[in-house]
Amino acid sequence: MTSSGAEIINGDKLVLRGLKFHGFHGVKPEEQKLGQKFLIDVDAWTDLQAAGISDHLQDTISYTAIYSIVRDVVEGAPHNLLESVAERIASTVLSKYTQISAVRIKVGKPHVAVLGSVDYLGVEITRHRSSVVQS
């Protein structure tokens, strides 16, 4: 999935691309019964300078920690809408890691019943720490 968002956020960021998981999200009964593949991209804005200077993992956020959040949401409880999946990932990342100032989450569904050829259909959301709504 490529970035095409109109909003530009400046600064350092952690980047996770092309995460693939099997989940049971969708409004159709067969989607919730059989499940399907979902593609996820994450950008997490945070200051990476200390880690760049020190070369120590404790001065940054591990990619695997964010990966685990995404996996838990996508492989977890079903959601009707991709918007809800993206929102849960964003709110969990921002709640767990206070040093992250903003996240962009893309959720893609490559196997969609449409009349035509597509790579995927999906949603992209951007959330800033100031816009986090606690659920």
What are the beta bridge partners of residue 125? 105
Active-site annotation holds for 109: yes
What whole-number distance in Å separates Cα of residue 42 and Cα of residue 13?
10
Which one of the listed residues 33, 96, 106, 109 is annotated catalytic? 109
What whole-number distance in Å separates Cα of residue 102 and Cα of residue 46?
8
* Residues 70, 42 contacting (CB under 8 angstroms): yes
E strands of 24-110, at which residues? 36-45, 102-109
Burial class (CB in 10 A: 0-12, 13-18, 19+), 29: exposed
- Residues 115, 120, 127, 81, Cα dihedral to 10°: 50
The residues carrying an active-site annotation are: 109
